[in-house]
Structure 1
């Protein structure tokens, strides 16, 4: 009996939410929210990071295995007009990647594999382009640039891969593209989105040996990532 009651409550809640979001006759939540010049909020989300490698010579590629990471940050939003907003989204990103190097001279797992754990201070400056509001929801796209400071880069570590230390630059510039939609709920605006993050600089710190089996054949290494964020304003 209890399960039946829960199902009925969920069904009624879904029906009410659908009516408010998509029906022709509905209650318009937060009707004046987007008329504010400045608004604030925060976001939580997940990420998946990997690397794009370019090589000096054609060879077997380095294998990158991604793990799910976590994002958290703040949002400052400035209204330009009805359809354009400027957003600053400083946050912290936790990401892990596992690399497998295919060089024939590497014979053990300790030599071939590197776990790259990164903690980024991530600061995007984005332009948000929205459509006209449709009932209690509004689609949008975002585009812009970001700067990331990798606190776990090992940039200044004197040891390199010959001692088991994988190194990368601490400062990274990126461009970002994404889509999402705003949902105007009774008390706040909720915005799920998905975004691609693409580094525009070479991030690899090379080993002292120019013929290193880990870094010698790499022309450039650039981060690529996918963010799924849930924003609350």
Structure 2
């Protein structure tokens, strides 16, 4: 619901909204039968069910002719989510680092991996239906994207360093469909209303979030907001 609310607000500004889920085990997102055919795991199944319900309620509450609803009508629940996991380059198989025996599973997700990891411009295009990304090892891979507006942690993140890495995936300034950065030069003070990150996490994030907010507030407190004629260049002598 947080994604849909944010997406509807930014839709008319030409900004595509992405949500990132950190999960604890690949098998909870996707599994494979004996014939190698993929089927949804627990998290993917829950996502599809909840997504359909939220969109259905929105359609009932909104009249016909809404451009955002027309956009949603062109995207199915099944095609709007994708998984980003480690892929063995030779076998094109998902590697789940949670498996102690390093077992590999045949993957139909090589295309999704390429989309998320290598084709970031395409992922930012609203013509690409993927808007929800499930990740297990993205931190180690170093993935990021400027249009991540929601982060949901479905795993325990023990250290503050790991939490910083997770939150950092959503701290870049977003871009619109023209590739323009949504910064103060374009938005002015509205930059703070557009670039808002929502983190859905467990209670272990409580003290971390408060500490991070305090740290950021202190870091920018004395930062100059603009250059005025009262500021004069000076000579520097060694």
Q: Shared fold by TM > 0.5?
A: no
More strand by share: 1
TM-score by length of 1: 0.25
- Considering Cα pairs closer than 8 Å and 6+ residues apart, tell me whether 1 or 2 has the greater RCO: 2
Could you tell me the TM-score, scaled by structure 2's length? 0.25
